[in-house]
Structure 1
Amino acid sequence: MSEIHDLTAVRQAALFRRRELSPVEVTDHYLDRIERLGDEVGAFVTVTPELARQQARNAEKQLFAEDPERLPALLGLCVPVKDLDMVAGVRCTRGSRVFADHVADADEGYVAELRRAGAVLPGKTNTPEFGLPCYTENEVAPPARTPWDTTRSAGGSSGGAAAAVAAGLAPFAQGGDGGGSIRIPASVCGLYGIKPTRGRVTAAPLRTADPIGLSVTGPLARTVADAALLLDALTLGDVGDPFPAPPLPAGETFLSHTRRDPGRLRLACFATPPLPGTEVHPDVLAAHHGTARLLEELGHDVTEITPPFDGSHMDHFATVWAVAAASAPVPDGQEHRLRPLTRWLRERGRAVPAPDYVEAVAQLRRFARLALTVFAPYDAVLTPTLATPPVPLGHFTATGDPAEEFARMNAFTPFGNVYNITGQPAVTLPLHTTADGLPVGVMLAGRIGAEGTLLSLSAQLEAARPWLDRTPGIWRR
């Protein structure tokens, strides 16, 4: 039987404009599912039913009062926001019990844009403390679990966002990605996720140390078109942004690219992890090679390349990551309440001399130049998204040693941070599953500013190997 949550976001928007579907009815449907199922998959930290219902009522009035052609793009559509980011008047814990009672006094720049686009904000999705790990387990909400197997992690740091969309608690969701944090949970939850070009979505107001623009905001969605629709709404530049992205040509949208034939593209591929000594699971390799063959069948030129990476960038990335962790403001006397990994990273960050930090940043810039030079001849680069399928809850913290935890994180996601360092757009596609039905994503990275090419290619792959009807058991509950 078809349910409201079976409808894609693009379809919901079309039905709203034809006045065949009610934003109030849709919002109530999602809020009911959040209440019944949200804790089971650890999707939300804070739910905002009063705010969401008021926004839905306002959207419904607007639908009947204005020309459908002039309505905001997201009018009436539910868009959860990751709990690292601020929604004015709503609790913002940043995944930490230290901030369990903190209420934001302003919107993030992109959240204000979501409001202008008519979005309904049903709540704040689960995230690990300060967004630092690649899994979502904290002391402010239940652990985020992939709806495909709730004994396994939904990944991170946008784990709650991915769990929400994959469980049918929202049509799509906003996430953030500083080292793979959209692509990791999208992969393990069977979703499509986009890390946009550096600077595509404003980082205002910037509150943490990020001198090379590692972190970006982007969508997690069930379809390529839904992700493009949300990315169009999120795309916002600010005069103070340090890394402005190349603008779209006048009149173009990302959604329009999902309806275009990508043409014949020149593609590179590799499955050798940029972290030496890391093993890639056979199911992941099978997904990678199967996608390469599919791309060739679709008429693209696919060349296997040897990446010129020796793994040293991971050490420099770890230095920058630790200093960023140390820069997060924590009230006096509250340091002991942070999670062990957070304390360990902050101690490491505070111990880094300023010249060493500057050198780490410089080395990451050199790495970016090398990578971009190697990738320059190609329209896109195919790799695995992760080194393994979804892992059990507690996998990373099993030893109780933060250093081992960090090493396990790197081994799980050795491919992701390359494109945070270079600033390239990258997407993960849910094209494959393991023999027991667990999602396995594959990743495509494109040229700076060329999200449109990735979206066109992704839509072509989606049409060739549709995944929309593949849903976890919780979907029908």
Structure 2
Amino acid sequence: MPLTEPTALDLRDALRRREVTATELAEAALARIAERPDLGAFVSVNAELALADAARADARMHAAADPRDLPPLTGLPTAHKDLVDVLGFATTHGSRAVPHRLADSDDPIAATVRAAGAITLGKTQVPEFGIAAYSENSVAAPAANPFDTSLTAGGSSGGTAAAIAAGLIPAAIGSDAGGSIRIPAAACGLVGLKPGRGVVPTDRHRGATDPAGAPTMGVSGPIARTGRDAALFFDAILGGHGEPTLAAVDRAEELRGLRIGVSFASPFEEWIEIGFSPEAHAAVAAAATALEAAGHHVEAAAIHHEPQYPEAFTTVWTAGLGRIEFAPGAEELLGDLARMFLERARRTSPEALGVAVEGLRSFAASATRQWARYDAVLTPALATLPPALGAFTALGPEGDYRLQCQWAPQTSMVNVAGVPAVTAPTHWTAAGLPMGVQLIGRPGSEAQLLQLAEQLMR
């Protein structure tokens, strides 16, 4: 499907040529946001703050002898998930059970994006505490899919993905602890990069393990409509000199000769039935054809996952809620899924949590060893087209979680392993809905994965 809006790089070029101002871009984006309340993409918008930041960007642009010497995202409009503190904005975490405090400073990733020059317009919709593969909560309207607003935009970066796919903003940084960048990117026909553990400097404060000793799963990464835009934002949060990832993606046609394994294996299939739709198979077939045409060798991969994964992952995934301190009576305001997760966390003994941690460590070692036989492993990004809004919650909390694992059965395993992965659209249905694939890479292969995404989209 052709792009109908300027890319982030198009907008940056126009800013640097002084054909448009940051203020004009911010005003246009704010107007588009106001026109699309049906998307539920934004929880809050602060035009006054955004336009003040844009005016400062324009002043820097005007004073610069060469605009190319300015920070890489100067003047570009963007947004942050409502899990991230951004100066001047309230953070709700998608929950009525915690205070919605006005942030007096930026979280590290928001500070990095600000230092890179981007203009924050608002906060985007998420599931409660970011724990679900869809972005619905009791705080604000659900994030709807721009290609069919009766369907979910995915989660937890669902509001961000909806905003980008609808052309409200050109690109943004999301977070991904179990698929939260890749799931909504795939649902909305975008490129989503989950970097490897510790690759992004602001993620390193989390350490390599979480408080329970399990592998740290959450990372920050870009969501965009093209591989080049994702590379632009990825380079910006790396904070190094130059734009090496963007330069590599610009030479994507030179990448040839990789060995790529195709796998439909999911670690959840020991627990629940996993079925991939015809659209998912079509997306993988289209990707395989495109990759072979680009000069790579594509073959079936025999991947076998350890059976303890579903119980181990779920135990560790839910443990984080048990570390939140709720005010008296606040737990009654939790949504059904969060309440179930909290109750499970409190029932889990330290010994059982320790067993789960060791199970994930064993899984990570096994999966990484098997994937390493290939330069990249190709999987469906999602098992089916996006479910309808409300489809998850209608099943009750247990059915809700089961459907999430069936819809995105191959994303969380990559977080546990700590390696990078990218999603990109490769197939469009007759109704105009996107379907994409995931490519899992070796440690340090983020630039190569974005090159492959660019090859797929070209």
Q: TM-score range by the shorter chain?
A: over 0.9
Amino acid at match of 1:454: L
**In the alignment, which of 328, 335, 359 is matched to residue 332 of structure 1?**
328
What is the distance in 2 between the residues matched to 1:382 and 1:413? 14
What is the distance in 2 between the residues matched to 1:414 and 1:311? 14
Partner of 1:414: 409
Conserved 8 A contact 2:288-2:298 = yes
Change in Cα spacing, 1:373 to 1:101, as seen in structure 2 (3 Å) is closer
Overall identity of the aligned pairs, in %: 42
**In the alignment, which of 430, 446, 449 is matched to residue 451 of structure 1?**
446
Partner of 1:283: 279
Amino acid at match of 1:229: L
What is the distance in 2 between the residues matched to 1:251 and 1:377? 32
Amino acid at match of 1:438: L
CA deviations on 1:333-387 (whole Å, 9 max, x unpaired) are 2000010110100010111111211221111111111111111121111000111
Partner of 1:365: 361
| Cα drift, residue 93 of structure 1 | 0.3
Conserved 8 A contact 1:100-1:140 = no
Conserved 8 A contact 2:128-2:338 = yes
Partner of 1:470: none
Q: What's the secondary structure of 1:263's corresponding residue?
A: coil
Partner of 2:244: 253
| Cα drift, residue 158 of structure 1 | 0.5
Change in Cα spacing, 1:92 to 1:216, as seen in structure 2 (3 Å) is same
**In the alignment, which of 31, 37, 48 is matched to residue 50 of structure 1?**
48
What is the distance in 1 between the residues matched to 2:326 and 2:48? 30
What is the distance in 2 between the residues matched to 1:406 and 1:457? 31
Aligned-pair Cα RMSD in Å: 1.9
**In the alignment, which of 201, 213, 216 is matched to residue 216 of structure 2?**
213
Q: Does 1:375 align with 2:371?
A: yes
Q: What's the secondary structure of 2:119's corresponding residue?
A: coil
Conserved 8 A contact 1:109-1:204 = no
| Cα drift, residue 68 of structure 1 | 1.8
What is the distance in 2 between the residues matched to 1:221 and 1:408? 26
What is the distance in 2 between the residues matched to 1:321 and 1:209? 12
Question: Where does 1:50-199 land on structure 2 (aligned, <5 Å)?
Answer: 50-66=48-64, 67-99=66-98, 101-199=100-198
Partner of 1:297: 293
CA deviations on 1:218-264 (whole Å, 9 max, x unpaired) are 1111111111111111225xxxxxxxxxxx8x766211111122121
What is the distance in 1 between the residues matched to 2:68 and 2:286? 42
Conserved 8 A contact 2:286-2:426 = no
Partner of 1:425: 420
| Cα drift, residue 100 of structure 1 | 5.7
What is the distance in 1 between the residues matched to 2:348 and 2:99? 29
Conserved 8 A contact 2:232-2:243 = no
Q: Does 1:386 align with 2:385?
A: no
What is the distance in 1 between the residues matched to 2:55 and 2:15? 13
Conserved 8 A contact 1:266-1:301 = yes
Conserved 8 A contact 2:186-2:381 = yes
Q: Does 1:345 align with 2:341?
A: yes
What is the distance in 2 between the residues matched to 1:200 and 1:89? 28
5+ unaligned residues in a row in structure 2: which ranges?
Answer: none
| Cα drift, residue 206 of structure 1 | 5.1
CA deviations on 1:117-174 (whole Å, 9 max, x unpaired) are 1110000110010000111111111110100000001110111000100111100122
Conserved 8 A contact 1:269-1:382 = yes
What is the distance in 1 between the residues matched to 2:358 and 2:445? 25
What is the distance in 2 between the residues matched to 1:53 and 1:217? 26
What is the distance in 2 between the residues matched to 1:83 and 1:43? 11
Q: What's the secondary structure of 1:217's corresponding residue?
A: strand
What is the distance in 2 between the residues matched to 1:164 and 1:16? 21
Change in Cα spacing, 1:189 to 1:251, as seen in structure 2 (3 Å) is closer
Amino acid at match of 1:185: P
Q: What's the secondary structure of 2:100's corresponding residue?
A: coil
| Cα drift, residue 315 of structure 1 | 1.4
Amino acid at match of 2:70: L
Q: What's the secondary structure of 1:258's corresponding residue?
A: helix
Conserved 8 A contact 2:265-2:305 = no
**TM-score in terms of structure 1 length:** 0.90
Question: Where does 1:23-42 land on structure 2 (aligned, <5 Å)?
Answer: 23-37=22-36, 39-42=37-40
Partner of 1:269: 262
| Cα drift, residue 32 of structure 1 | 0.6
| Cα drift, residue 303 of structure 1 | 1.6
What is the distance in 2 between the residues matched to 1:272 and 1:118? 41
5+ unaligned residues in a row in structure 1: which ranges?
Answer: 237-247, 464-477
Q: What's the secondary structure of 1:257's corresponding residue?
A: helix
**TM-score in terms of structure 2 length:** 0.94
Partner of 2:227: 224
What is the distance in 2 between the residues matched to 1:41 and 1:205? 34
What is the distance in 1 between the residues matched to 2:302 and 2:88? 50
Partner of 1:469: none
